[in-house]
Amino acid sequence: MMVKMNTLPCGRKKDSEARKNQPKTPDWKPILDHFLKAKKLRVTPQRDKIAELIFAKKSHFEVQMLIKEVESKYPDIGPATVYRTVNTLCEAGLLSESLQSHEGVTLYEALDEDHHDHIICMDCGEIFEFHDESIEEAQNKAIKKMGFTQANHKHVIYAKCSLLNKK
């Protein structure tokens, strides 16, 4: 059986395909420039080129893959600049160290307006984004009951694909 490129081994549509047309952090440049100015850091063409590549992505990414992409497109930009830029974008609130892949690799994503959680398929590694208000309410109830005020949270479910078992 031939599997289409935008289809996972289980037959599901890739989540990154479903998110293809969703904008991610559209006005990153003025936010970044304001952050850099406030921190007394220079606005550099290298940082802007790396940021452009990041914000063009429609999915989660790991730094090592970004470094390869940057090196192939901009050979004059080294890995240290990529790492520093990723850290700067995280500090600026434009990028998030969102989760660990099913293989333990740190993944990043551009922050968007809508909060979401993640399911990571342990069979193929695909990441599915979802939002469930009842989960959010349960988390808020637990936080309140225990006397905390939420600052942030990450909800990641690592799961095995039930569709693969049905083939």
Q: How do residues 66-94 score in pLDDT, each as one tens digit?
A: 999 999 999 999 999 999 999 999 999 89
Q: Encode pLDDT of 128-149 as tens digits.
A: 888 899 999 999 999 999 999 9
| Domain 15-166 class, CATH top level | mainly alpha
Distance CA(10)–CA(126), nearest Å, equals 11
Residue type, 161: C
- Domain boundaries defined on the chain: 15-166
Out of 13-22, 62-71, 114-123, 140-149, least confident range: 13-22
Q: Are 28 and 94 in contact (CB under 8 A)?
A: yes
| 41-57 CB burial, b ≥16 within 10 A, e <16 | eeeeebbebbbebbbeb
Label residue 3 by pLDDT band (50, 70, 90). Answer: very low
pTM: 0.73
Angle 45-50-54 (CA atoms, 0-180°, nearest 5)?
145
- Distance, C-alpha 124 to centroid of its chain: 17
